[in-house]
Amino acid sequence: MSGFFKKIILFGFIFLIGGFIFYFSYKFSKKADCPRKEGVIIAFGDSLVEGYGVKENENFVSILSKKVEEPILNKGRSGEPPKLHLIDSKKMF
């Protein structure tokens, strides 16, 4: 088989794989058709939730909020153990 045909087959294979990736990323990125419920989404936790070391719009809570198209209240705090988060959450409700 000549080099030209190998390049054509390789290009076709890459194109096919790219098509599958595009199709499935589009298919699963659609917002789910779920009934809407009233309330507030709150993310609380440690520095990972707070987004320590990254810009405010780059933490995972901000990214998740954009993805689900709903506001999420970020209550992450660096340096606090989970027990304090539990106590604070009881005060919020």
Over residues 73-79, the mean pLDDT reads: 82
pTM, to two decimals: 0.51
Over residues 31-45, the mean pLDDT reads: 71
Give, rounded to a whole angstrom, the gap between the first and last alpha carbons of the chain: 71
**CB-based contact 61:49 (threshold 8 Å):** yes
Distance CA 34, CA 63 (A): 20
| Residue 29 pLDDT class (50, 70, 90 cuts) | low
Neighbours of 44 (CB within 10 A): 19
- List helix spans (H) across the chain: 3-29, 47-50, 60-68, 82-92
